[in-house]
Amino acid sequence: MNNGPDQNDRMIAEAFHGEWSEGASAKFALAAARAARRRMVRRRSVVGAAAALGMAAALAFAFRHLRLESNAPEVLEAFHSAEPARAYEIISDQELLAELKDRPLLAVQNRDGGTEFLLLEY
């Protein structure tokens, strides 16, 4: 009688381990099942932690971006106020005449032919 490999394998296995589905060897399978479950739990924890970290990073970035936008006018104001004060001011002819009204002004001819104006103060 020619028997399949499964029957031979079963006979050999049970010759060394007794009832294959109930004996000590069956505990190998249950131990492996527990190991697989622990591995699934660990993987889920890692994936969950990575997702939480990613969300936290995204929220932090968004919050920082909002803060930057709300501070913009202050920044511009600080920028503009940082301009150095000029030592002169350009005014129109009318403004100049208004300043010089009833005030003595001396016109001096320079040697090179130019004219220099001096304001005579009391």
Partner 1 sequence: MRLSGSTPFLPLVLPAPVTKSPQAPLRELTLALQRGNDVAWQEFHGNYGPRLFRQLLAATRGDHDLASDALQQTYLRVARSIQPCDSEPMFVSWLRVVARSVLHDCWRRRRSFWQMLHRRHADPSDPALFESEDGGDRMMACLDNALGQLDPDDRALLEAKYFSGTDVRTLAEKLMISSKAAESRLTRARAELRRLMISALSRHE
Question: Which residues contact partner 1 (rule: CB under 8 A)?
Answer: 1-3, 5-18, 20-21, 25-26, 28-40
CB 10 within 8 A of CB 3: no
Q: How far is the CB of 64 from partner 1 (least distance, A)?
A: 41
- Could you tell me which of 77, 117, 111 has the C-alpha nearest to residue 97? 117
Q: How far is the CB of 49 from partner 1 (least distance, A)?
A: 21
Q: How far is the CB of 43 from partner 1 (least distance, A)?
A: 10
Taking each helix axis from N to C end, the angle separating 26-70 and 72-81, rounded to the nearest 10 degrees, works out to 40
Nearer of residues 33 and 50 to partner 1, judged by Cβ: 33
Alpha-carbon gap, residue 80 to 60, rounded angstroms: 30
Nearer of residues 22 and 99 to partner 1, judged by Cβ: 22
3: β partners: none
Nearer of residues 1 and 108 to partner 1, judged by Cβ: 1
